[in-house]
Amino acid sequence: MREIIFDTETTGLDSRDDRVIELGGIELVNRFPTGKTFHHYINPQGRAIHAEAQAVHGISMADLAGKPTFAEIAEEWLTFIDGAKLVAHNATFDVGFLNVEFGRLGHPVIDNGRVVDTLALARRKHPMGPNSLDALCRRYGIDNTRRTKHGALLDSELLAEVYIELIGGKQAALVLDSATAPAQGNENVRQIEIIISQRPAPLPPRLTEAERDAHAGMVNTLGEKALWLKVVGN
C-alpha cells in the first residue's frame, strides 16, 4: 500500500484568492518511509503573503524570488502522488488549495475518496484534544524541537510518525504476508514466513503411574473443603 503524507504552506487562508507557496510530501509503502520525498517552494505570481501567514511559516516574498510557479511543478507532483492515498492534517484546507490550483490549470480535482484526514482521526481517538500537530507530537513522544516554524516537508515527516501512532502504533507497519514482498519493492521490509505444523503423533505423558498414584494420595489428605478440589472440579 502506497501513501503520500503531505502538507502545504500558503499566502493566506482563502483558497479562492491566496496561493500555495510551499508543497512537500514523503512516500510511505506499507507504512514505512521509502526515502522518496517531494519538496518545492512556489512563486505565488504576485500574490502578497499575509503577515499572519508569514508569522506562521516564515516564508517571505524574497524567499520565493526565482522559484517555479505551481504550473511548473504540477506534473511532477501529480506523478509523485499517482495511485497513492493522500494523508494530511486538516486535509480540507490543503486539498482545497490544491484543487483551486489544479482548477486554474484545467486539471481534475483530487478525489476525496483517496484522502485521509489525520485531524479527523485524532478527534475520534482523542475527543478531548488538543489535536494540533504539535500537541500530537507531545502526546506520542515524537521529537518536534526542529519545528520552530511550519514547513511543508518537515511537517510531513512529523505527520508520518503521528499517523502511524494514530492507526495503531509501530506494529501497524509490520507486513506479515511474505507473498506481497516482491510486488512492494521495499528493500527496508524483511518478510518472514512462519509455518507451524502439527505433530504426527501426540507426545506420550510425562507422569508415571506411580507419580499419579502419589498425587491422588496427597489430594485425599486435603479434606473436603480444600481449594484444590474446586480447581480440578472434583
- Of 40, 57, 89, 150, the active-site residue reads 150
Residue type, 73: I
- Return the residue matching grid coordinates 490544491: 98
CA distance linking residue 89 with residue 25, whole number of Å: 12
Q: Which grid cell is 209?
A: 503411574
Alpha helices in the chain (DSSP H): 51-57, 61-64, 70-81, 91-105, 118-125, 133-140, 152-166, 181-184, 209-220, 227-232
Instruction: Report whether 121 contacts 172 (CB < 8 A).
Output: no
Number of other residues whose CB lies within 10 A of the CB of residue 11? 23
Q: Phi/psi zone of residue 125: left (φ > 0), alpha (ψ -120 to 50 degrees), beta?
A: alpha
CA distance linking residue 60 with residue 69, whole number of Å: 15
Q: Which grid cell is 11?
A: 499566502
CA distance linking residue 149 with residue 130, whole number of Å: 19
User: For this structure, is 150 an active site residue?
Assistant: yes
Contacts of 222 (CB under 8 A, 6+ apart): 228, 229
Catalytic residues: 150
